[in-house]
Structure 1
């Protein structure tokens, strides 16, 4: 059995988690630089919880400059086992309306200016992303969101764009035609890195707008987004408060294999591995590197 520790990466509108017992902001050093901010660590409902504002308090990091590798490493280093992403998104579907939540289960990655892996020359690894989120954790998030009275969609494809600009109308219509359901700027490479770090990962998309495809909503209205963000953030806090009741303080091995994603992923022979890179992987991949 493993001690459960919930990690929350909060996106636009979610910058704190009230009600944490013994809460303190902790500075965490990583081999990949500093995380987006200090991490708020405490206990909620008898379960340890760590909260990281993805953009930093005061929203100082753009989607491109968020230090994704440092964020995931820091969470792993603290002992997080179950990582939940909460982020604002646009919708490509009429039925996925502003104010709704989507439990994302697939991604299309259109980002291009970010470091997307912990591995590289000197220690090569290939993890599976066929199913990039954890169904067990996603179910817990869906149940916790539904308990807040939110309209929740179980499953959806998230298209990650580079940003920081919003889509053109042509792009929005293209992504909709591809079968994407929501669009955001931050879940990639976050989900990829979480898989490499053997973390169970779930993504909760909080819909704020219809992007640029909708005939009655021709462009993204920042004023309307901010209004919706406030209501979404309140529901997200309720979701987080309900999560410990959905996840036991102790849990067995992930039935979907998230915590064993590196079992057969590392390809580089032990005698050919770069010791400097291996040292940087101590938190992320120490379990398998020590054994092989």
Structure 2
């Protein structure tokens, strides 16, 4: 039995299946971990969701910001942008079932035996494992509630910037959602910067990748994340694994065989995309 971790698929279904074939993935005995952003950008979001759902207990995934964006479009809280290539999914006969399944997916995966944590964007430097679990659960409960349209409408915001356990209501949910699905940089005091996307080598001043700040997270746990494709899987400390390598931008899809710490890559089929 093996655990396979794959970065953001973003609707690149053909590359996704080709990568799984390289490791002879078997859903009867293996486990597949996905860093979120299953949909959008690529042309086959519908196929990706259908396949992921079919894996049942063999799948451990987290929701990303583009998955939340899809939920917001479905709830009529945002417009369907043609560049996201979601029309086929939104008009599919099984869209209701797929959206219902997506709403039930977590924002955080923790395996205490593997000492592995997965989230889409990262873990805030001022969170330990218990805080991260509590924050993720609050968002997951909101996604399953009747208040989901209002939450999705307000979730994509640049504030608040600074964490406090005393945050309440919308601002608390907004901060937690930004951390788990959109975070890249923090200031030295842990406050979020939601503007910059450049690679760390181009940054100046008091901004740091979240994974380079001192962490409260228990040190025996590794963190796997996606979201930050411009990193190209590089520049993180030991035990921090950046897995989004920008397949939807014409680069490649990356898989990490956890037990062997071995990487497999699948280059994008450029003839099938409009980048």
Is the TM-score greater than 0.5? Answer: no
> Structure with the greater relative contact order (CA < 8 A, sep ≥ 6): 1 or 2?
1
Q: Is the radius of gyration larger for structure 1 or structure 2?
A: 1
More helix by share: 2
Q: TM-score range by the shorter chain?
A: 0.3 to 0.5
Between structures 1 and 2, the one with greater strand share:
1
Q: TM-score, normalised by structure 1?
A: 0.34
Task: Return the TM-score normalized by structure 2.
Answer: 0.35
